[in-house]
């Protein structure tokens, strides 16, 4: 990076017909720094806030696949904050400098959706979730009144789940999505949301590679204290072992058991890929599209019925979607932690589908 930011004149002339390419803008790090890919420098550069406005903000969010009505707003971030957010002196993507292109020396931080916020309290050491607002992005996916998988709300229209949940059940019309509930019995008398489209990644059922899918709802969810989106991780966010995460779902309480009637949670830790690929653990089966989390000593894990549901972590006071529950050897066995779809790896694909459909 050449320590510059992109001025508004280079970004767009302020007209409604801006011709930004689909892959030319992105959000960076946990402060939602807006960046544009410069065809001149061949690098990602921060967008200067001089002349920026909400109309441009809404257009940028739409280019990333968000609906216009979820737009929150933007902030101006000065270069000292951006510097502090850099990983190291060798990674200068966060830097800005005072240049004639950007007299204010401030960059745009863009919030396309109010995500990652929850209410309620968890029981320390507990497993049963007793408050609806604790994990408001958790959904239950049903066919014929039966819970099959979990999922995560990322916008009022879009749900992330696992591809293996829909691989053999890809007809959107058979699925119903329930958001804002804690128990399976209360869903029986509730009206869920129908699904208009299922978009599955290039999933390999033999290796579990690319185990991620998106569901688009026929009508948008109403965002309340109990139904909210989780934040998609932005580029430049790196979740490394042994970071604490939470996994939630209505899955079995033991390997081979039936679904739990009440939403469960478990606190687990990320496990680095080298350890997870070791001979005693998964012996080379873990690819870049996967992330491991759990406890090597066993005892705490996701299980059958949790598939597709969220693995989340907290950063900058917000909850971020690290993974979707994918596979594992049994449940909570020693040296057999849970394996999750690596959401950060799939970011471009996710935004591409949101734009397309």
d(CA 262, CA 175): 20
Nearest Cα residue to 237 out of 96, 29, 10? 29
One of 152, 252, 293, 307 is an active-site residue; which one?
A: 307
C-alpha 26 chain-centroid distance: 14
Residue 323: which of 228, 249, 262 has the closest Cα? 249
Q: Which entry of 7, 142, 152, 211 is annotated as an active-site residue?
A: 211
Q: Is 128 helix (H, G, I), strand (E, B) or coil?
A: strand
Catalytic residue check, 293: no
List beta partners, residue 317: none
For residue 227, CA distances in Å to 12, 170, 181, 235 come to 35, 25, 9, 25
211 is catalytic: yes
- Supply the DSSP string of 7-70, one letter for each residue: -HHHH--S-TT----TTSEEEETTTTEEEEEETTTTEEEEEB-TT--HHHHHHHHHHTT--GGG
Residue 173 is classified by DSSP as G
Residue 23 annotated among the catalytic residues of the structure: no
- The one catalytic residue among 147, 164, 201, 351: 164
User: Looking at the annotation, which residues are catalytic?
Assistant: 164, 211, 307
């Amino acid at each position: 990076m050449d320590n510059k930011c992109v001025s508004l004149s280079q970004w767009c002339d302020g007209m409604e017909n801006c011709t930004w390419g689909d892959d030319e803008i992105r959000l960076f790090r946990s402060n939602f720094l807006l960046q544009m890919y410069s065809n001149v420098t061949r690098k990602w550069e921060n967008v200067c806030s001089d002349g920026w406005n909400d109309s441009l903000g809404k257009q940028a969010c739409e280019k990333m696949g968000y609906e216009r009505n979820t737009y929150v707003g933007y902030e101006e971030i000065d270069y000292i904050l951006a510097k502090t957010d850099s990983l190291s002196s060798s990674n200068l993507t966060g830097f800005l400098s005072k240049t004639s292109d950007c007299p204010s020396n401030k960059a745009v931080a863009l919030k396309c959706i109010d995500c990652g916020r929850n209410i309620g309290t968890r029981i320390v050491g507990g497993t049963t979730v007793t408050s609806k607002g604790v994990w408001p992005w958790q959904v239950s996916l049903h066919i014929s009144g039966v819970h099959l998988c979990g999922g995560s709300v990322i916008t009022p229209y879009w749900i992330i789940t696992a591809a293996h949940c829909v691989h053999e059940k890809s007809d959107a019309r058979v699925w119903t999505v329930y958001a804002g509930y804690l128990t399976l019995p209360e869903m029986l008398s509730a009206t869920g949301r129908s699904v208009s489209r299922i978009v599955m990644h290039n999933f390999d059922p033999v290796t579990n590679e690319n185990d991620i899918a998106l569901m688009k709802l026929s009508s948008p969810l109403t965002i309340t204290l109990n139904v909210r989106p989780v934040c998609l991780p932005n580029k430049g966010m790196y979740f490394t072992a042994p970071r604490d995460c939470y996994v939630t779902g209505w899955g079995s309480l033991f390997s081979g058991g039936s679904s739990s009637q009440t939403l469960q949670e478990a606190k687990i830790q990320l496990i680095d890929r080298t350890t997870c690929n070791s001979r005693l653990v998964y012996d080379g089966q873990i690819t870049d599209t996967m992330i491991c989390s759990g406890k090597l000593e066993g005892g705490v894990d996701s299980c059958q019925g949790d598939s597709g549901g969220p693995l989340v972590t907290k950063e900058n006071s917000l909850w971020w979607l690290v993974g979707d529950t994918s596979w594992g050897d049994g449940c909570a066995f020693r040296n057999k932690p849970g394996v999750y779809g690596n959401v950060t790896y799939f970011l471009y694909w996710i935004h591409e589908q949101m734009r397309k459909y």
